Amino acid sequence: MGHLFFNLFALFSFGNAVESQMKSELYVILFVGAVLFATIPAMYKQHHNAYYQSIGASGGVSAVMMFFMVLFPDVELLFFFILPLPGWAAVILFFGLEYYMNKKSGTGIAHDAHISGAIFGLLFLLILHPTAYIRFFQAVSNSIF
């Protein structure tokens, strides 16, 4: 239930801002495309397990979150409702945490779907707003130096 709550909260928090950056039809393609794309790693990894059930819906949420965090790298976010971070730092922490949790396994959460969905969101952003990456790296550079 906690995972479902977080996904719904994240979609509610980031979804409108992301949808405002594109036509609604493209937003649907972003979300559904990420869900389908995020399902591929689990299907590959679990193809022999008839009892495995997962559809990468979290991957759709991850795509929306990543799209937002790269498009708005200076927006302050509360990571896990506690740690204030700029969007660019949340991107790095997201991938680091998801990579670690994916390797750890046994969490009952398809972290590979989160990673794949986030990658789909990054690619989608690259197609729609390629200059967002320049602003993203400028925000990182300005914060570090």
The structure tokens 């393609």 sit at: 29
The widest CA-to-CA distance across the chain, in whole angstroms, is 51
Collect contacts of 126-135 with beta carbons under 8 A, ≥24 apart. Answer: 128/21, 128/22, 128/26, 129/21, 129/71, 132/70, 132/71, 133/70, 135/73
Q: What residues does each domain of the chain span?
A: 32-45+54-144
Verdict on whether the full-model pTM lies above 0.85: yes
Q: What is the pLDDT of residue 132?
A: 95
Number of other CB atoms surrounding residue 106 within 10 Å? 6
pLDDT in tens, 21-31: 999 999 999 99
Q: What is the pLDDT of residue 7?
A: 84
* Residue closest to 98 by CA, chosen among 108, 113, 81: 113
Contact 15, 62 (CB under 8 A): no
Q: What is the pLDDT of residue 54?
A: 65
